[in-house]
A and B are shown apart, each in its own frame.
Chain A
């Protein structure tokens, strides 16, 4: 019994509701959103340290006994993700102040952000598979609002695709849960894990595992199911894109990670082999997309797809090293994607175009932006002192340990393509001749946008350099994922 677990979910929810009043007052909207996120972040950090000290924290609603009530479980994996989510949300909201425009700010922009954070944190924390579906819907509904808010032509076209694909995947999610419930008769995730172990995963459970992979794969954009992501995401304005790129697909990745380490672990020769191949193809497809485009938004969007592949490759190894690497890389990727989308947003606001061929010579007018972009690009590719290095190293090491030599080498080799794709932005936009531009925002306004962006990049540097301090947290998370009995015991036997 520990209500503390709920604070990172309840606080944004409460502020989201309060912000529905005072729609026109910008000071109230901005101040309320910021206050809510900072309070929630503070509670998430203290929760993180509590989990580190006392192990898995859980709370069952209404004090019902364990498999019968809805349990919220905060283990190291979820506590780390919740903390990162709130940290990034603070900077993205700060970035929104000067970029999203007052018309949107006065039309429930901040309440929608708070609801999306509620949904994301809830999905990370829940210990009940149907409750996870509900939190998915909470975050999806809020993301529909954010993607369409403003009502430009591109946004409407993008949002139709986005909503359609998510409605279909949500329906599949309900069907998958129905199948699982019909076989197992329980919705509590720890209980499901125990019962699948008892019946030793018959073929029908493997079928459900693949169905879950399809559902979460649609949300996370894995190889054959990523087709909706580039067009839908490109429609969103930069701060919304940063929020989506940093958080939304990662919820799908987390769900795959959770179900494939807690439920479906008795027929890994089939399920995890499938996951391995799909993740390899995801990386390949992402690389092709990232190199094919001359559009800055699309390049970074395809880099989301690549990162999803890399993380799932780590999950597919099913050993502690690989899972720890996946955790390291997941958090890194959330931070760096937020940073890159914020940077790309600034570039777009400065030049008035997303086409790389129409840009050039930005290094002369804004050298700081250029150097920070270069650091973020190196961080993304995983150049040693920076943030992407440790995660990818551990993932590759896990791959070698599991005997997947060639695919691990492939993952390492694709880092070069990732680097190439983001360096192309640097070469085209920052080097060369200065070209005539029609800036969307003035220089003073883009400078204001640069402050939160720079801080996020500094955080990513600190994440890479300070990996040693994070390792205890990450190894706890890796242990927990590799050994489901820790989770199950904490939920069903603790207290």
Chain B
């Protein structure tokens, strides 16, 4: 009997975007409300896992052509670079800077270098989670 997964595939396509945008929201809101890089990363990878469930690993790899180990390394480098940057200015390691900017559409916003560090964490979490799931999933 031929199985038909039209419904799960169609739903996954929509739900993927909902989860992914929620992940970005949680990630951006981390400074003032619960959330941050770690949960954001986990949510983003859960969105990708949903795609893996609805389709299969090879299809997802063509949709998102990312090597996850590289993603992990890039995330680590971003985090380290954010932490080490103050050393060049003569400040202690891990000093963070922030300022207020007036951005178009959003208005007055505070931008903080902790955000860059969180980006690193986000990428590492996505990279590690997806590496684990992919390697176990592909194991024969």
Contacts and interface: CB of A to CB of B under 8 A. Distances in A.
Contacts of B76: 17
Interface in B75-89: 76-77, 80, 84, 87
A42 interface: no
Nearest to A72: B93
Given A61-B92, A62-B95, A14 B80 contact: yes
B129 interface: no
Interface in A180-232: none
Contact of A20 (B73, B80, B91): B73
A3 B95 CA distance: 11
Interface string A8-21: 00100110011011
Contacts of B73: 17-18, 20-21
Interface string A52-80: 00000001111100000000000000000
A6 interface: yes
B119 interface: no
A20 B77 CA distance: 11
Contacts of A14: 77, 80
Contacts of A6: 87, 93
B45 interface: no
B92 A59 contact: yes
A331 B77 CA distance: 33
B9 interface: no
Interface residues of B, number: 15
Given A20-B69, A20-B73, A13 B80 contact: yes
Interface in A113-140: none
Contacts of A60: 92
Nearest to A10: B84
A5 to B, nearest CB: 9
A13 B76 CA distance: 9
A13 B70 CA distance: 16
Interface in A1-38: 1, 3, 6, 10, 13-14, 17-18, 20-21, 23
Contact of A63 (B72, B80, B84, B95): B95
Contacts of A20: 69-70, 72-73
B66 to A, nearest CB: 14
Contacts of B92: 1, 3, 59-63
B70 A17 contact: no
Interface string B42-80: 000000000000000000000000000110110011001
Nearest to A61: B94
Given A17-B73, A20-B70, A20-B72, A61 B93 contact: yes
Nearest to A4: B87
A20 B127 CA distance: 13
B95 to A, nearest CB: 5
Nearest to A20: B73
A1 B86 CA distance: 12
A1 B95 CA distance: 12
A3 B87 contact: yes
A3 B92 CA distance: 6
A360 B76 CA distance: 50
B93 A3 contact: yes
A18 B69 CA distance: 12
B121 to A, nearest CB: 14
Contact of B91 (A18, A21, A63): A63
A13 B84 CA distance: 12
Contacts of A3: 87, 92-93
Interface in B81-130: 84, 87, 91-96
A144 B45 CA distance: 25
A429 to B, nearest CB: 42
A319 to B, nearest CB: 36
A482 B95 CA distance: 34
Contacts of A21: 70, 73
A59 B95 CA distance: 12
Contacts of A18: 73, 77
A27 to B, nearest CB: 19
A59 B91 CA distance: 10
A20 B87 CA distance: 24
23 contacts: A3-B87, A3-B92, A6-B93, A10-B93, A13-B80, A14-B77, A14-B80, A17-B77, A17-B80, A18-B73, A20-B69, A20-B70, A21-B70, A21-B73, A59-B92, A60-B92, A61-B92, A61-B93, A62-B92, A62-B93, A62-B94, A62-B96, A63-B95
Interface of B: 69-70, 72-73, 76-77, 80, 84, 87, 91-96
Closest 5 CB pairs of A and B: A20-B73, A61-B94, A62-B94, A63-B92, A3-B87
Given A20-B72, A60-B92, A61-B94, 6 more contacts: A20-B73, A21-B73, A23-B69, A59-B92, A63-B91, A63-B95
